[in-house]
Amino acid sequence: MITENDIFNTSLKLINKKIRGIMTRFNLRYNRLFKDIFEFRSLLYDLVYCDSIEFYTKLMIFKREASIDSIWYIADQKTMDTLEELLKLSRNRIFRIKKEYLTEEDREEAMDVENRHPNRSLRSSDSSTSNFIDERSGMSIISEKAEEKSEFKSNWIKNPIKIDGENYTMDVRLDINFKYKGLIEILKSLSKKTESRIPVWIVAPEARMVSKIKKVINNYFSKKDDNIIQQLFKLKTLLELTRVGAVNNLSQVSTDTTQTNQIFQEKNNPKPKNGDSKRSSTEKQIKAEDFLLDALTRDLIKFKKNYEKLMMIHVLGYEGANEQSLAEALESLEERHRIQEEEDPLLFTHLSNGKSEEDSSSFKRRFDQLEKPSDPSLLIFPEQKKVLNKEDEKNDKYEVIDPEKLDFKTFDVLGDEGEVIFDAHQVEGLDIDVNCANVAYTRLDYIAQHKPQIVILFEPQISLLREIMLMKRCAKYGGKPCSITQVHILMVQNSIESAIYLDTIQRENNAFVSILKERSALPQLDDDPESRIKKILPKKGESTRSGKGAGFLASLSTRPIILVDKREFNSPLPSRLYHDGFIVIPILLEKGDYILSNNLVVERKSVETGDLLNSIRSGRLENQLTNMCKSFARPVLLIEFSEAIDFSLEPAEITKFQQNAAWMNDMSIDKKDTYRSNVKFHLSLLCMKFPKLTVIWSKSPEFTSQIFRRLKEGAPDPDIKNFLKFQEDAETKGEGDAIVVENKENEDDLQDLKKFLS
Amino acid sequence: MKDVTDNSDFETYESLISLPGPLKKIQKILMGLIRICIEEINAKYKERVISEQIFLIVLE
């Protein structure tokens, strides 16, 4: 197993197939390692396709669900450090907490401490999440390089958080995946102010990506929003997950149970603040995350309420309700919110219960069916705006997201089936369709029906690209017309995606090379059999026959004849001989495999199938040669190799042994030599015993065919009647059921043969 | 066969996106972790083959 070969291979299915075979040989511990490999590999994919929050959530889930014998728990210190760094880097893509220095002196002092202990910040402590804030300096572990700083665009929570009297700031980065941005850029470049819209087909690699791509396009082109609300919801879920996870991890991993218990205790029953006591960094981190979670929850609840009101106002207003009914409806909504907040302030997602929930969903459905207003901000009552602003002013703890920005457009509008409602015409000059076409049939069907002009491949799919090429080429030569004029391929450089792409191209090239090689090995089909026969026939005019077709029959009668044992037809040689212009007559032979003339017989032994080795060992070869030498003047032993094995005897024998016993690999050289010398020794003995015997070595059936032609030069064809006797005897005596059955099956052939010979 | 891979009938654009800095680091780490797992499995595989050989020799 090599990382580049096995992990960057084309598909997970291939790897699964390859690895599953050997997985059963290992114990559970190593099966766990395989699972780890698959998980890390899936993360490599997610790095490209998911946003930072999704990636980190998945990483956390993998860590939490890892069993005790996984690499997450059993590894050397260096690996553990690497895992810590992975968690840290993934988290820092979403948010990070930094100590805020009130004066320059504080900063310099902190930097001095950092410089004195440069390795401390990188060293992990017991908990996987406790490395967020360094214990000594309280500084963020992240080195604040200019390039990293520039990546943090938004700073949502600006006011410092106070933990144990120290101020921290929180940078929150809510950014969408960079690959989606690439897609947006392409769509922008394609957008033109034209009357007719160009059909664009965006091909997603998976079904789940379709809705994601639709959402992103909606956000950019229709809502003019940066997908902030969805990201905020995701962040909140993540924070809930990690906060619980941090405590769980402490209980699982930490060796210091006292400390763990203390943290649990402090979390559940917060003690009055004691500024002098140094709290653990884990606790600080949990506090900071709590703060962020609290801020987000309040913000989102407030926004959700606003959203519900807007919906209600819009629906009632649209249906012509009077002011009184509107006021009553709003009042009941307020009451419901109040009760709900008292019960569970965090439960903002479940807006209502029982009958009212039904009302809410029906409201939403009706709302979705309505025509959307051109400017939704007009629907916000001035009073409502004031209330929101007043609430903001009260919150001196943190700055909230601008409520003006959070209008209901930022929510995804879903259909009855839960699918994202997508306007195909939202980009100027384009008619966009997004779908996932994994099956060739659906792809071709789609192209035929929708006739897209531009295809955007979100993932480099070579198969689709080749299909399009084929369609275009077919159209060029009179096939069905193909509408596609442009294909855009989105690809991330130096990632698993590009590695797979290059690997696919490489495999495709290899396939072409192997096809060309195979084709060159095939008989020349452009050369028809008659012309091949003519090559080996006497010149025209030598035949005494005349009349229509007589020439061909005459040529047939003058083609060299080879009698081939019926049992030899499993090998490629008879077919090769036929193609090379010989008349191949299948017959049940008593001695030898191929009879070239009345005196010349050939016994073929294959090295590849182990026939040679087995015959030597069992002594069958010696018996066969004895019989052949008695009846024929020129017995030949043909030792045949193939292209798959080397043209030498030694490796072939070892291969045979390897097939039987893997431990041969480790056998001593002396032992191997013994086996080799045994074969050579036996062959030498046979040559000495049968002086008439000729041994011919052939590297392929083609080469054998050439040898046979040389041997046949000047030799008369065999007298078939002499050799049919054994077959007829076998039929009459019923020697072996198999032979009888075979003969019955070929009875017609035999009759034809007899007619031909007479 | 050249005809099949010839894409001169339509325009093909490859939009290459470079991996952002922090992602490069994460990718490197993930690759390193996969390599560690593979090395451990390979080590165990060799160990298993050797022990099997010893077992067979003893049986002989």
Torsional sign, CA A7, A12, A18, A24: positive
Domain containing A669 — which CATH number? 3.40.50.10130
Is A35 within 8 Å of chain B by CB?
no
Same structural domain, A567 and A700: yes
A274 interfacial to chain B (CB closer than 8 Å): no
- Lowest-confidence region among A204-208, A403-407, A437-441: A403-407
Contact of A257 with A264, CB cutoff 8 Å? no
Q: Which two tokens stand for residue A131?
A: 């490395």
> Taking all residues of chain A, what is their mean pLDDT, rounded to a whole number?
66
Domain stop point among A413, A433, A456: A413
Same domain, A234 and A244: yes
Cβ within 8 Å, pair A488-B16: no
- A612 close to A605: Cβ distance less than 8 angstroms: yes
Query: Contacts of residue A190 in chain B, CB cutoff 8 Å?
Result: none
Tally of helices (H runs) and strands (E runs) in chain B: 2, 1
Per-residue model confidence (pLDDT) at position A464: 86
ipTM, two decimals: 0.77
Residue-wise pLDDT for A133-183, tens only, equals 333 333 333 333 333 433 434 445 555 566 666 667 667 777 677 888 888
Q: What are phi and psi of A542, to 5 degrees?
A: -75, -25
**Do residue A143 and residue A129 come from a single domain?**
no
**A71-80: pLDDT as tens digits:** 888 778 888 8
Pair A127, A253 in one domain: no
pLDDT value at A671 more than 90: no
Strands A454-457 and A430-436, sheet pairing:
unpaired
In a domain, B12, yes or no: no
Pairwise pLDDT comparison (A417 vs A592), residue with the higher score: A592
Please tell me whether residues A402 and A341 are part of one structural domain.
Answer: yes
Chains A & B: contacts with CB separation below 8 Å: 154
Residue A162, burial from CB neighbour count under 10 angstroms (0-12, 13-18, 19+): middle
Distances (CA, A) of A250 to A63, A96, A257: 13, 20, 9
H or E element that contains A594: strand A594-595
The CB density around residue A287, as the number of other CB atoms within 10 Å, is: 20
| Strands A694-698 and B11-17, sheet pairing | unpaired
Q: Which of A27, A469, A519 to mutate to test the interface with B (most CBs of B within 10 A)?
A: A469
Among chain A residues, the shortest Cα distance to B26 is held by A86
**Which residues on chain A are in Cβ contact (under 8 Å) with B43?**
none
* Model confidence band, residue A687 (pLDDT cutoffs 50, 70, 90): confident
Residue A189 has pLDDT above 80, yes or no: yes
Lowest mean pLDDT among A141-150, A487-496, A594-603: A141-150
Residues forming beta bridges with residue A361, ordered by sequence position: none
| Residue A576's pLDDT band (cuts 50, 70, 90) | confident
Asked whether the beta carbons of residue B36 and residue A79 sit closer than 8 angstroms, the reply is: yes
Q: Which of A11-15, A176-180, A528-532 has the highest mean pLDDT?
A: A176-180
Pick from B29, B35, B51: which is nearest to A27 by CA? B51
Most confidently predicted of A128-137, A239-248, A479-488? A479-488
Residue A425 domain-assigned (yes or no): no
Q: So what's the pLDDT on residue A524?
A: 57
Output the DSSP codes for A232-269: HHHHHHHHHHHHHHHHHHHHHH-S-HHHHHHHHHHHHS
Same domain membership, residue A226 and residue A115: no
Tell me chain A's radius of gyration from C-alpha atoms: 41
Q: Does the pLDDT of residue A3 top 90, yes or no? A: no
Domain presence at residue B43: yes
Residue B30 lies in a domain: yes
List, in order, residues 6 or more apart from A231 with CB less than 8 Å away: A51, A53, A174, A175, A176
Between CA A280 and CA A164 the distance in angstroms is: 11
If pLDDT is split at 50, 70 and 90, which confidence band does A123 have?
Answer: very low
Burial of A208 (0-12, 13-18, 19+ CB in 10 A): exposed
The total domain count for chain A is 3
Contact call for A3 and B23, based on CB within 8 A: no
Domain containing B30: what range? Answer: 18-59
Give the pair of three-digit tokens for residue A725.
């006797």
Distance from the Cα of B34 to chain A's closest Cα (Å) equals 5
Please name the amino acid found at residue A226: D
**Quick check: A1 pLDDT over 60?**
no
> Residue B8: inside a domain, yes or no?
no
Confidence at A602, pLDDT banded by 50, 70, 90: very high
A86 and B4 in contact by Cβ < 8 A? no
- pLDDT for A414 beyond 80: no
Residues A727 and A601 in one domain: yes
More confident residue, A499 or B42: A499
Domain holding A748, by residue range, is 529-757
Quick check: A511 contacting B, CB < 8 Å?
A: no
Q: How far is A575 from chain B (nearest CA, A)?
A: 27
- Residue A229 and residue A320 share a domain: yes
Contacts of B60 in chain A (CB under 8 A): none
Contact B20 A468 (CB under 8 A): no
What is the model's pTM?
Answer: 0.53
**Among B21, B22, B27, beta carbon nearest to A44:** B27
Residue A387 forms contact with B (CB below 8 Å): no
A438: contact with B, CB 8 A cutoff: no
Let me know if residue B1 belongs to a domain.
no
- How many whole angstroms separate alpha carbon A526 and alpha carbon A504? 33
In a domain, A223, yes or no: yes
Higher pLDDT, A97 or A50: A50
- Are A659 and A554 in a shared domain? yes
Query: Which residues of A fall within a CB distance of 8 Å from B29?
Result: 82, 85-86, 89
Nearest CB among A41, A86, A487 relative to B10 is that of A487
Q: Is residue A432 part of a domain?
A: no
Chain A residues near residue B48 by CB distance under 8 angstroms: 25-26
Q: Do A86 and B26 touch (CB under 8 A)?
A: yes
- Does B15 contact A486 at a Cβ distance shorter than 8 Å? no
Among A413, A448, A477, which residue terminates a domain?
A413
pLDDT at residue A594 in the model: 92
Q: Give A 456-475 residues with CB within 8 A of chain B.
A: 460, 465-466, 468-470, 472-473, 475
Are A169 and A118 found together in one domain?
Answer: no
The CA-based angle A659-A664-A668, given to 5 degrees, is 160
Q: Which of B36, B50, B57 to mutate to test the interface with A (most CBs of A within 10 A)?
A: B36
Q: B54 lies in a domain?
A: yes
- Which residue from B minimizes the CA distance to A52? B23
Does residue A87 lie within any of the structural domains? yes
Q: Which has more confidence, A120 or A285?
A: A285
Residue A199 parent element (H or E):
strand A198-204
pLDDT category at A212 given cuts 50, 70, 90 is confident
- Domain boundary at A364, A397, A413, which? A413
Which range among A259-273, A493-507, A541-555, A663-677 shows the weakest confidence by mean pLDDT?
Answer: A259-273
Q: Which of A96-110, A184-198, A396-410, A606-620 has the lowest mean pLDDT?
A: A396-410
- For residue A197, give the nearest of A478, A429, A456 by alpha carbon: A429
Whether the Cβ atoms of residue A748 and residue A611 lie closer than 8 Å to each other? no
Is A493 part of the contact surface with chain B (CB cutoff 8 Å)? yes
pLDDT digits (tens, 9 = 90+) for A304-341: 666 666 555 555 554 455 556 666 766 776 776 676 66
The reply to whether A354 and A313 lie within a common domain is yes
Cα gap A684→A554, rounded to integer Å: 45
- Asked if residue B48 is part of any domain, the answer here is yes
With bands split at pLDDT 50, 70 and 90, how would you rate the model's confidence at A118? very low
Alpha-carbon gap: A625 to the closest alpha carbon of chain B (Å): 35
Q: Are residues A164 and A105 in the same domain?
A: no
Rounded Cα gap, residues A682 and A684, in angstroms: 5
Check whether A486 has a pLDDT greater than 70.
Answer: yes
CB distance B33 to A82 below 8 Å: yes
Q: Is A338 exposed, middle or buried (0-12, 13-18, 19+ CB in 10 A)?
A: exposed
Q: Which of B4, B27, B34, B44 is most worth mutating to test chain A (most A CB atoms within 10 A of its CB)?
A: B34
**B13 vs A117 pLDDT, higher one:** B13
What are the two backbone dihedrals, phi and then psi, of residue A696, each rounded to the nearest 5 degrees?
Answer: -120, 135
What is the reported pLDDT for A149? 39
Residue pair A701/A576 in contact (Cβ under 8 Å)? The answer is: yes
Nearest Cβ partner for B37 among A37, A151, A512 = A37
Q: What is the total count of domains within chain B?
A: 1
